[in-house]
Structure 1
Amino acid sequence: MHHLLTRDGILLPYTLHGGGHPLIFVSAYGMTAAEWPKKMLSPLADRYRLVLYNHRGISGETNPDVPFSIPQAAEDLHDLIAGIGETTATIIGYSMGGMIALEHVIRYPDEVDRLILLSTCCGGVEAVPSEEWVREEMAGQPVSIEAYLDRAGRLLLTESFRRMHPDPSSWFPDVGEPVDAAVVREQFDALQRWRGVYPRLKEVQAKALVISGDRDLVTPPDNAGILAMAIPDAGAIIMEDGGHGVIFQYPEEVAGIITEFLHLDHHSMGR
Structure 2
Amino acid sequence: MPFIQAGSIRIYYEMTGNGHRLLFINGTGGDLRNPIGPMQSPLAKQFNLLAYDQRGLGQTDKPAGPYTMRDYADDAARLLNAVGWQSCHVLGYSFGGMVAQEFAIRHPGRVDRLVLCVTSPGGAGGASYPLHELAKLGPEERARRAMALADLRRTPEWQAAHPEEVSQFIGQSLAAERQHADEPGWAEGRARQLDARRGHDTFDRLDEIRAPTLICGGRYDGIALAATQERMAARIPGAELKIFEGGHLFVMQDRSAYPAIMDWLKRD
Matched, 1:249 2:246: no
Shift of 1:153: 2.2
Shift of 1:149: 4.9
Counterpart of 2:20?
21
Could you tell me how far apart the structure 2 residues matched to 1:157 and 1:257 are?
A: 21
Structure 2 CA distance for partners of 1:212 and 1:168, relative to 1, 3 Å: farther
Matched, 1:216 2:227: no
Structure 2 CA distance for partners of 1:165 and 1:41, relative to 1, 3 Å: farther
Could you tell me how far apart the structure 2 residues matched to 1:112 and 1:61 are?
A: 25
Q: Which amino acid aligns with 1:136?
A: E
Structure 2 CA distance for partners of 1:246 and 1:96, relative to 1, 3 Å: same
In terms of mean alpha carbon deviation, does 15-24 or 37-46 score higher? 37-46
Superposition map of 1:176-255 within 5 A:
177=179, 180-194=186-200, 196-240=201-245, 242-250=246-254, 252-255=255-258
Gaps of 5+ in 1: 267-271
Shift of 1:56: 0.9
Q: Which amino acid aligns with 2:29?
A: G
Could you tell me how far apart the structure 1 residues matched to 2:226 and 2:4 are?
A: 34
Q: Which amino acid aligns with 1:153?
A: M
Q: Secondary structure at the match of 2:124?
A: coil
The answer (yes or no) to whether the contact 1:224–1:236 under 8 Å persists in 2 is yes
Shift of 1:200: 1.6
TM-score, normalised on structure 1? Answer: 0.82
The answer (yes or no) to whether the contact 1:149–1:168 under 8 Å persists in 2 is no
Q: Secondary structure at the match of 1:153?
A: helix
Shift of 1:60: 5.9
Q: Which amino acid aligns with 2:115?
A: I
Q: Which amino acid aligns with 2:229?
A: A
Superposition map of 1:96-111 within 5 A:
96-111=95-110
Q: Which amino acid aligns with 2:96?
A: G
The answer (yes or no) to whether the contact 1:112–1:206 under 8 Å persists in 2 is yes
Shift of 1:128: 4.8
The answer (yes or no) to whether the contact 1:121–1:219 under 8 Å persists in 2 is yes
Counterpart of 2:261?
258
Could you tell me how far apart the structure 1 residues matched to 2:189 and 2:128 are?
A: 23
Gaps of 5+ in 2: none
Could you tell me how far apart the structure 1 residues matched to 2:164 and 2:214 are?
A: 29
Matched, 1:157 2:151: yes
List per-residue Cα deviations over 1:51-102 (Å, max 9, x = no partner): 11001111262222x6422110000000111111111111110111101000
The answer (yes or no) to whether the contact 2:23–2:49 under 8 Å persists in 1 is yes
Shift of 1:35: 4.0
Could you tell me how far apart the structure 1 residues matched to 2:56 and 2:132 are?
A: 22
Could you tell me how far apart the structure 1 residues matched to 2:117 and 2:62 are?
A: 27
Paired residue total:
255
Q: Secondary structure at the match of 2:55?
A: coil
The answer (yes or no) to whether the contact 2:118–2:224 under 8 Å persists in 1 is yes
List per-residue Cα deviations over 1:224-257 (Å, max 9, x = no partner): 11111111121111112x222223434x532111
Could you tell me how far apart the structure 2 residues matched to 1:165 and 1:254 are?
A: 27
Q: Which amino acid aligns with 2:63?
A: N
Shift of 1:40: 8.3
Q: Secondary structure at the match of 2:165?
A: coil
Structure 2 CA distance for partners of 1:40 and 1:245, relative to 1, 3 Å: farther
Q: 1:136 aligns with which of 133, 136, 156?
A: 133
- Percent sequence identity over aligned pairs: 28
Could you tell me how far apart the structure 1 residues matched to 2:18 and 2:215 are?
A: 24
Q: Secondary structure at the match of 1:80?
A: helix
Could you tell me how far apart the structure 2 residues matched to 1:39 and 1:82 are?
A: 21
